[in-house]
Chain A
Amino acid sequence: MTLDQLYQQRILEHNQHPQHFGPLPSATHRGRGIDALCGDDIEVALVVEAGKVVEAKFSGEACAVTKASASMLMTWLIGRPVTEVAMAYGAFQQLLANPQAPANELLGELNDLQPVGAFPARRGNAFLPWQATLEALGPELSQST
């Protein structure tokens, strides 16, 4: 896996122009993702209505991989039922664990992050926005089970 595959154009674009980045004062759910060791600190803010994510934004400071992952994840989240998120995270983890794994239809653009899996020291960065999202959705998820 080469460096260019990790820092591919799409990841760099999301890093420089992250989607759904900024404050979300109307958020009903918030979660924080901190990787103190490498200096990532992000917040995921969501508006959840009737078991569906209707708005999603992230803020904070992070490396290119975390930012790209968060940017793609926020886009993906909007309109999703909260029950789909944990399942999708499992699929995302599997995608990064196996470089030969075929693209997962459920994940959409997030499939582009597969090359991160080849950089074990950076996998945590790709997962951080998911963890913050699951933390935010914690109360919803326990209600829905």
Chain B
Amino acid sequence: MATDRAAMTSPSIDVEGIRAEFPILEREVHGKPLVYLDNAATTQRPLRVIEAIDRFYRHTNANVHRGVHQLSVEASEQFESARTALARFLNAPSEREIVFTRGTTEAINLVANSFVRPKIKPGDEILITHMEHHANIVPWQMLAEATGAVLKVAPIDEKGVLDVEALKGLMNERTQLLGVVHVSNALGTINPVGEICALAQRQGIPVLVDGSQATPHLTIDVQALGCDFYCLSGHKMYGPTGIGALWAKAEHLEAMPPWQGGGEMIRHVSFEKTTYNDIPQKFEAGTPNIAGAIGLAAAIDFIEKTGIEAIAAHEMGLLHYATEQLNGFEGLRIIGQADQKGPVVSFVLEGAHANDIGTIVDHFGVAIRTGHHCAMPAMQFFGVAATARASFAVYNRRQEVDVFVDALKRAQDMLKP
């Protein structure tokens, strides 16, 4: 795990220097300096991302892959170099294995419709875990409903740790795909994806990894993980919204039929027959989010230059500090206490509903997420309808944890009987 390596080497980062790159962090909310602790919902963007998008529209804007004029050539080059940057970031063997999507959700839906759907039969199974985000539940449910397949769910324990033995027990010859989240957005749990992939591989089960919460915090090496599909969202990793990607093994992409039809994904069209483009363009129908991809490349540059291990070490420091502080609260229960966690702390506080906590801390400038975090089954497992969640990013300071904890005390005092 990157976090282990980070802890060993203890690289440090210049938080104040990093903060200077994020203009939004200068603003105030309700007259107080913004303390942004809702990073698992979406991170903020550094200037280099904002400027890359701005520069593209001011200077380069043209459609990609279809013009001989200079702007189109430049736009195509920049768009394709974003693909190359992403392939390097994931240690993918080839940029041909990177399909740009709107985000993780679309990437999962693409796999559901183009990889699993053509081969699944009634009685076949799709295996997921109890801690999945709705994005890695609902597409499979829809597919199961349409095809007569069955959705199987591997259990978690009281700490929010996946029961890998039980997961193994649920793998069988009917399992057409295993979908697993790398880092849980609601609980923080980091799943042992490498180990899970090895187990699945022995049974010939393809594995899809929802990496949306992992890419901003961990070193991702899709070859070392041994998965078949890896999905990510740009906006969770300092990039723009509306851009994400699916990494898939080339052999899968070659064999998969296109999902959406249109321009860009074709080679030749007549009314009698259409031949499709090569991968990955075969899966990129229509004009893509060009500026988004270029912005995402700038976000990758930000992460790589800052150093993912330094980022992780800093965030783990914040997580541990926040966890310590929260443990001092009477009536507070942390939901998700795995040993291996991303920088997320989810909790419930006796006598104070998450919604009220969210509103009150907001008035002290603190942005946290409250609710079910798009993981209702995980919430149901812990018997709670909603939690409050603080999630950290590279630009958060230790003092911000103090502001949050003080605001939480105010909320507790205000709401106490």
A binds B: yes
A37-B359 in contact (CB<8A): no
Shortest beta-carbon distance from B385 to chain A in Å = 3
B360-A3 in contact (CB<8A): yes
Chain A residues in 8 Å Cβ range of B363: 2-3
A38-B360 in contact (CB<8A): no
Q: Judge whether B237 is part of the interface by a CB distance below 8 angstroms.
A: no
Selecting from A48-56, A57-65, A88-96, A137-145, the interface stretch reads: A57-65
Q: Judge whether A20 is part of the interface by a CB distance below 8 angstroms.
A: no
The residue in B353, B354, B363, B379 that gathers the most chain A C-beta atoms within 10 A of its C-beta is B353
Taking a contact as CB atoms closer than 8 A, the residue among A7, A38, A119, A125 that contacts B414 in the complex is: A7
A36-B376 in contact (CB<8A): yes
Chain A residues in 8 Å Cβ range of B354: 38-39, 63
Chain B residues in 8 Å Cβ range of A61: 353, 385
Give the number of residues in B that approach A within 8 Å (Cβ atoms).
18
Chain A residues in 8 Å Cβ range of B356: 7, 63-65
Chain A residues in 8 Å Cβ range of B372: 36-37, 39
Chain B residues in 8 Å Cβ range of A36: 372, 376
The residue in A41, A63, A121, A125 that gathers the most chain B C-beta atoms within 10 A of its C-beta is A63
Shortest beta-carbon distance from B48 to chain A in Å = 31
Closest to A7 in B: B414
Give the number of residues in A that approach B within 8 Å (Cβ atoms).
22
B385-A121 in contact (CB<8A): no
Which B311-366 residues have a C-beta within 8 angstroms of A? 353-356, 359-360, 363
A37-B353 in contact (CB<8A): no
B355-A40 in contact (CB<8A): yes
B360-A7 in contact (CB<8A): yes
Q: How many A-B residue pairs have CB under 8 A?
A: 54
B359-A38 in contact (CB<8A): no
Q: Judge whether A15 is part of the interface by a CB distance below 8 angstroms.
A: yes
B360-A39 in contact (CB<8A): no
Interface residues as binary, B358-386 with A (CB distance below 8 Å gives 1, 0 otherwise): 01100100000011100010010000111
In Å, the complex CA distance between A119 and B30 comes to 12
In Å, the complex CA distance between A130 and B315 comes to 43
B417-A40 in contact (CB<8A): no
Q: Judge whether A134 is part of the interface by a CB distance below 8 angstroms.
A: no
**Given A3-B363, A63-B353, A122-B359: A38 and B415 within 8 A (CB)?**
no
Chain B residues in 8 Å Cβ range of A125: 355
Which A1-40 residues have a C-beta within 8 angstroms of B? 2-3, 6-7, 12, 15-16, 36-40
In Å, the complex CA distance between A121 and B372 comes to 16
In Å, the complex CA distance between A84 and B414 comes to 35
Interface residues as binary, B384-408 with A (CB distance below 8 Å gives 1, 0 otherwise): 1110000000000000000000000
Closest to B364 in A: A3
The residue in A38, A61, A122 that gathers the most chain B C-beta atoms within 10 A of its C-beta is A38
The residue in A3, A61, A121 that gathers the most chain B C-beta atoms within 10 A of its C-beta is A3
A41-B359 in contact (CB<8A): no
Shortest beta-carbon distance from B301 to chain A in Å = 35
Shortest beta-carbon distance from B331 to chain A in Å = 14
A121-B386 in contact (CB<8A): no
Shortest beta-carbon distance from B235 to chain A in Å = 19
Interface residues as binary, A61-72 with B (CB distance below 8 Å gives 1, 0 otherwise): 111110000000
In Å, the complex CA distance between A7 and B357 comes to 11
Closest to A119 in B: B359
Shortest beta-carbon distance from B350 to chain A in Å = 13
The residue in B372, B384, B386, B414 that gathers the most chain A C-beta atoms within 10 A of its C-beta is B386
In Å, the complex CA distance between A125 and B358 comes to 13
Taking a contact as CB atoms closer than 8 A, the residue among A12, A16, A39, A41 that contacts B355 in the complex is: A39
Taking A37-B372, A39-B372, A63-B356 as known contacts, 18 extra A-B pairs with beta carbons closer than 8 A to each other, sorted by chain A number, are A3-B363, A3-B414, A12-B415, A16-B417, A39-B354, A39-B370, A39-B379, A41-B385, A61-B353, A61-B385, A63-B353, A63-B355, A64-B353, A64-B356, A119-B359, A121-B359, A122-B359, A125-B355
24 contacts between A and B (CB under 8 A): A6-B359, A7-B356, A7-B414, A7-B415, A12-B414, A12-B415, A15-B415, A38-B371, A38-B386, A39-B353, A39-B354, A39-B370, A39-B371, A39-B372, A39-B379, A39-B384, A63-B355, A63-B356, A64-B353, A64-B356, A64-B415, A121-B359, A122-B355, A125-B355
Interface residues of B (CB under 8 A from A): 353-356, 359-360, 363, 370-372, 376, 379, 384-386, 414-415, 417
Interface residues of A (CB under 8 A from B): 2-3, 6-7, 12, 15-16, 36-41, 61-65, 119, 121-122, 125
